[in-house]
Chain A
């Protein structure tokens, strides 16, 4: 297949040696390298490319850039189906497979274009009224109809098979936009000595210069120069879509479709760019005019026509009406005339620049001043227009309509950080407001018109931006560019009311009538207008519609444009593939697990693993039972009757050293530590400043100036930060250092009546008699080449030892203990049994230390009865904490045979209605093999009378009676752990 009749024989930024085949709606076409999907379709004579959102009106290609509201297509199939991509931004690549959207059964015969007949039904506020109106039944009725009819392309429901990267990048100067201003700024900043990153959303740098035949040589020279500069990088196919604190730009880069991607290479890359200074050279977007049927395929922006003719070598029409309120449209007309097209100019203004008029007439154009397009004929393609001027209306036949109603500077990024745009009546446009001193703007984005101005401004701000980074080297004059320039608009274009089907927002199908209706119904503020009509809510975010809507509203209200307001711009500037922001942080990589040094042994020996916070821990071992409920009870029984071994490497471990270490701990813990003897351990509880319990753990005194602290697994990081905070900010006079040794030590606990014998067998050099090594004692030694610490501590209530060795010897020590313990029946157990054992023993943990409970609530008030000067003391004594109905820790024992308790159950008095929050709640439960029933810990109002509660668990509709007892269900005298 060869390019068709609309392609010009020569010219354009195309590589005609590379013919690319692609499909659109299943039909095969061809284009060249350098085409977009839009230009290739236009070259192939395809002008109808989609159906609109609400009314399913036939739509074509409006623009040649990121602002495109009409030509949205779906690319790819299956898991790679990606909807709503503007054809104007899709770089043509071999095998591109695109499809039109919103049509059934085909683009040309769309059944639902019948929606057009129902359009009064779908007018502005329709959704709003049906949702918010007195009866929502209307919505129930219409929902099916609307869901089928309205909407854009459909995303795939399958997981994204592609790979994305996300990264950070740094530069002195970031230049956003590679048009004349941006190229000039980048060159100046780089010559001044700054590291420069030039960001261009297109696959070709040059911006609107690509549409200027006279600019080609300059552009080529500039590109060659910039590409040779070692301190300048160019990112093409990259959109800066958001500006954040600290001159951080969020970039999204598409992979070069011609580069060929290796397996695992990213389809898109997300970059957080940290820049010392930023130059916004983002250009301007041309605004459509608002007239009846201005959405028909074949109605385009004049600047887009110019881009298609000059950059893509496509002549989209031969008989063309150019409607304008701006001199720049004449340049489009000249280019079309030069290619032999017939051109009629309808200039809305009473007068245009005389030299332009003369030249247009000389070249053969018909020019009508003070004339507007009043209507467009033709449904699937433009067939003609009705012109309305002073002498009345006349019909003109044509196959293409161009329009320009002035230019809107692209100021989205500059206002993301809250800088409000400012209206300039002289150019009828909003321009960026005053920017911070590290941000600059140049070229059309400032509202200035013309290439020479853009080059001069670019050079000035490029130098200034480099100076922010301290780079002030000599900058050579930029090469001059001889080019035809036009001034900006000389009058303010205003939409003319009373026209039907005159579209303001093409993508969201919002017409002039809709805006009038919104105003009549009181939705006058721009923010209300947007929400009422959905104007500007499409994937294009109203890039071509916001200003026209604002003008319409200003005119209806009889106020000026700046009084009518402007809309707030928020990131992203263009839609961003969410996968790129995630980068490789998906699935497992989103939050990597932490594994203990003994992990591999667990998985090789039948452990069912459980995610506990950041860690993977053994939940239970398969040898203990077929499921967790059977296994944990067996593991509990085994610990109480013989011995079990548990991996406790996840505990937070902190090395505390210094002459004032004991004083420090004495303040940090609510209970005293100054008196702790060397070689002894103590259970400690920390409070927060507000008097609430923070964490608990044990701390062992290794020497006069050295302590070994353990924290709960969950609070390990918080406790370390807290200790550092106190030393850095509150008590810098204390000579103490703290450092985390959590990863340096592997930890394991051997618990049960046989534990002493097992330890003695494993470590024959250490004495394990009660006299030599009592409860809360410490023994130090060596295991292989690693130091060894054994602390006799019990969490389960049984005689137990915590064994710490260097992490790299963790698994070896574990195996050593398993072997030494085999004759005594030592078996591993998991966290389910660990939690159950501590409930039976009445030890509090996370469910009770929940950020709301005090020491007294947890039954530990006596620990601090005679103490003062510890963290949280003052506020722990506040009145509210002694209220009569304060919930305190209790034990709860199920007294209904065959029933069970549940954590989270609410506690009521017998006979009381089971409503509200009750008098407390069950916090932790377990089946107790010792008592052969369910037992639990709970928090119950201290003024609750009676010793029986009703535990209600509404989630499962369970109600069970329980007796209020002591939280220590087992061995209250502690004979087992001391014995």
Chain B
């Protein structure tokens, strides 16, 4: 059972969250028509061993989308931040 320290709600079980995929993939601008850029964003993944940044949404809590830094080997979580703050 992962425990995610939501910056809004505190430490919560992962069953309250929804996994949202790779947070390192760079999303092209909404009006970017470049097929290749979108192809890379949607399909190409690094699948690293070790630290990885990924999206989780606190669906059964504050509903914020979070960026969680998780070790894919040990499942230990190194940081949790609001996605909005990180991007802005």
Contact = CB atoms under 8 A, between A and B. Distances in A.
Interface of A: 168, 244-246, 248, 272, 274, 436, 667, 689-690, 717, 721, 724-725, 728-733, 868-871, 873-875, 877-878
Contact of A721 (B13, B34, B57, B83): B57
Given A168-B13, A732-B87, A725 B35 contact: no
A667 B30 contact: yes
A874 B1 contact: no
A739 to B, nearest CB: 9
Contacts of B1: 244-246, 248, 272, 274
A541 B20 CA distance: 38
Contacts of B74: 436
Contacts of B55: 725, 729
A725 B20 contact: yes
Contacts of B45: none
Interface residues of B, number: 34
Contacts of A246: 1-3, 75
- A-B pairs, 5 with minimum CB distance: A728-B65, A248-B1, A869-B31, A874-B38, A246-B3
Contact of B57 (A168, A724, A878): A724
15 contacts: A246-B2, A436-B74, A667-B30, A689-B38, A690-B42, A721-B59, A724-B65, A725-B55, A728-B64, A730-B30, A732-B83, A874-B28, A874-B38, A877-B33, A878-B35
A874 B84 contact: no
A103 B87 CA distance: 70
Contacts of A721: 18, 57, 59
A572 B53 CA distance: 32
Nearest to A689: B42
B78 interface: no
B62 to A, nearest CB: 11
Contact of A875 (B23, B31, B35, B88): B35
Given A721-B59, A868-B33, A869-B31, A689 B83 contact: no
Contact of A731 (B20, B30, B59, B82): B30
Contacts of B75: 245-246
A168 B41 CA distance: 38
Interface of B: 1-3, 13, 18, 20, 23, 27-28, 30-35, 37-39, 41-43, 55, 57, 59, 63-65, 74-75, 82-84, 87-88
Contacts of A875: 35, 38-39, 42
Contact of A874 (B33, B43, B65, B87): B33
A874 B38 CA distance: 7
A689 B43 CA distance: 10
B65 A877 contact: no
B39 A725 contact: no
A877 B85 CA distance: 33
A730 B27 contact: yes
A877 B75 CA distance: 38
B64 A732 contact: no
Nearest to A248: B1
A735 to B, nearest CB: 12
Given A725-B57, A732-B87, A873 B33 contact: yes
B69 to A, nearest CB: 15
Q: Which of B32, B43, B75, B83 has the most CB of A within 10 A?
A: B83
Contacts of A870: 30
A731 B30 CA distance: 9
Contacts of B63: 724
A729 B87 contact: yes
A915 B57 CA distance: 46
Contacts of A690: 42-43
Contacts of B42: 689-690, 875
A302 B87 CA distance: 66
Contacts of B32: 874
Q: Which of B35, B41, B55, B82 has the most CB of A within 10 A?
A: B35
A895 B77 CA distance: 62
A877 B3 contact: no
A874 B34 CA distance: 7
A327 B63 CA distance: 62
Contacts of B88: 732-733
A245 to B, nearest CB: 5
A875 B65 CA distance: 25
